[in-house]
Amino acid sequence: MAETYVTTAYERLQIAHLRWRKRLQKWISRSREKVSFVLIPNDEKPFAQIEISIGMLGFLFGLSLSLVLLSFGLLLYFSFFFDRNLSLEKKTETQLVSFLFYDLLSQDLKESVEELESTTESLNLLAWEEIPEKEMITQDYLLKEEFRKDASELDSNLLLFQQVVTTYTQFGVKLGNLVPNFQNAIDYLSMRESIFYSMPRGRPLKPGVGVVTSTFGYRSDPFGILPVGESHSGIDFAAGEGTPIYATGPGIIAVDTAVGGLGKSVRINHENGFFTLYGHCSLILVNPGDRVKRGDKIALVGQTGKATGAHVHYEVRIGLDSPLDPEEYINLD
């Protein structure tokens, strides 16, 4: 009886290994074989020949087939199985529209801030004559921009959002710098306006009433007592006796209403140290302590005191200083 030989598992594994190794070597050897592609032009010039190995050709074929299958799979997925998040898309579109809207507003804000800067500088030049608004105050304590701007194009919602925030931050800083400068100029001009309207302005008589018979400064003595003349501290307006005299500015009637040779007179204390005198009145219509406005009737023209005829003597003074030329204040009206 013939003997039967049974291979062991290790021997079978070795045999399988040798078979696959032989097949792999055969495939590698065959893959190294080259295939030529010949390009034949229409003219008689030499043709072009491209050689590529079978292995590389198989790799390229497999890669192309994989890309085609992947594209086809994605097409099927997005056509039949993909569930669109409509709420997210709508929210994104809404945000995009909002960003674009605020971007347009930021452009309007830019123009407004530039116009405000120009106006503020003109206002400060008007108020301070030679000092531009940038030199008005120190700006070290004001808001500084911390947001770094990216100069890349707005190719996404995030960049658009960053652009809008940057623009608003920049002009927020500019507005913060402009506010104190603008307020300083407004306060100063308001103070000047308050001073102006509290000053005596215009004539003590109605327009067209009375004539100037004596101006401010040195003049000959109307009584002929002083041969070298005298200093006249005001302006005399001649008018018929009983002609109304009006306050030239707002103020309070002083307690002492009689000043030397001015006879019956009225003194009005104005703000900022100004006061005015109205002398030679025939009748005083106000009482000490009364508050009057510009244009209020305070007395009537007369010739009391040292006077050669019916007229009102009008003076303008500041504190204890020498009398001022009333003509300068009359011309303010």
Work out the pLDDT band at 66, boundaries 50, 70, 90: very high
251-258 long-range contacts (CB < 8 A, ≥24 apart) are: 251/198, 251/275, 251/276, 251/291, 251/292, 252/289, 252/290, 252/291, 252/292, 253/286, 253/287, 253/288, 253/289, 253/290, 253/291, 253/292, 253/298, 254/288, 255/288, 255/289, 257/284, 257/288
In this predicted model, which residue has the larger pLDDT, 155 or 66? 66
Please provide the average confidence, as pLDDT, over all residues in the chain. 77
**Residue among 33, 86, 85 nearest 55 (CA):** 33
DSSP β-bridge partners for residue 316 = 276, 324
CB within 8 Å of 84: residues ≥ 6 apart: none
Summarize pLDDT for 3-55 with one digit per residue, the tens.
666 678 887 888 888 888 888 888 777 777 776 766 676 666 656 677 777 77
Summarize pLDDT for 109-131 with one digit per residue, the tens.
777 777 777 777 776 666 666 55
pLDDT at 85: 65
pLDDT at 65: 92
Q: Range with the lowest mean pLDDT among 42-51, 74-83, 232-241, 304-313?
A: 42-51
Torsion of CA 11, 13, 15, 16, to 10 degrees: 170
| Terminal C-alpha separation, the chain | 151
Residue with tokens 């305070």: 298
Average pLDDT over residues 181-205: 82
Q: How far is CA 251 from CA 5, 272, 291, in A?
A: 140, 11, 6
Percent of the chain clearing pLDDT 90 (strictly above): 24
Q: How far is residue 137's CA from residue 148's CA, in Å, rounded to a whole number?
A: 26
CB within 8 Å of 152: residues ≥ 6 apart: 159
Summarize pLDDT for 299-330 with one digit per residue, the tens.
999 999 888 889 999 999 998 888 889 998 88
